[in-house]
Structure 1
Amino acid sequence: MGAEPYWYYIDYQSDISAALNTLRQREFEAGRYNPIIPFLEFPITENSPKPGKQHQSIKAIMEDLIERGNVDVLAQFSIFVTSQTLHFLIKIGNY
């Protein structure tokens, strides 16, 4: 089992879930997701590759990735804050 570090920036929104959904949609439209670009170079900038989406929906991508055991930024995240700590939970399956 392996993992690759990644990080993204998005304009501030008071609703953290809305900000994450904005990020997911941006990266989906740009086509910056596995398997289109398996290993992104960070940070993402205006010069980063943008091959464009090549799937009908994020749901279709997730079904493909789950079959292969991969997850990326398009996965469904839950976000919550406790004691000044921001927590991210990845939900895999049932998309």
Structure 2
Amino acid sequence: MASELLVNAVEHGNLAFGYDETSTLLAEVRWNDAIASRLQQPDDRHRFIRVEVRGEAGRIIFLITYQSQAFDDEKYLNFDIPARSRYGDVPQRVG
């Protein structure tokens, strides 16, 4: 699950791929090429993510910060449709 958080920070945070665009790229087996191409763009190639990991009261907390405009998570907070993860069909909720 931690790797999915990191990929999402780069994909949706720094590179601004939307959910629909990502779904199409995955279905057409073009996601890797699209990510590699966007990472070469002058506006995107120097962006990075910052990860802080903390342990508190039996929990592990990940704080992930990316370098682009804020992600609007409101429409995904009640996202009840099972999402297709890169790692197979996994029911997910964002938020």
Higher helix proportion, which one? 2
TM over 0.5: no
Normalised by the size of structure 1, how large is the TM-score? 0.32
Normalised by the size of structure 2, how large is the TM-score? 0.32
Q: Computing the radius of gyration over CA atoms, which structure comes out larger, 1 or 2? A: 2
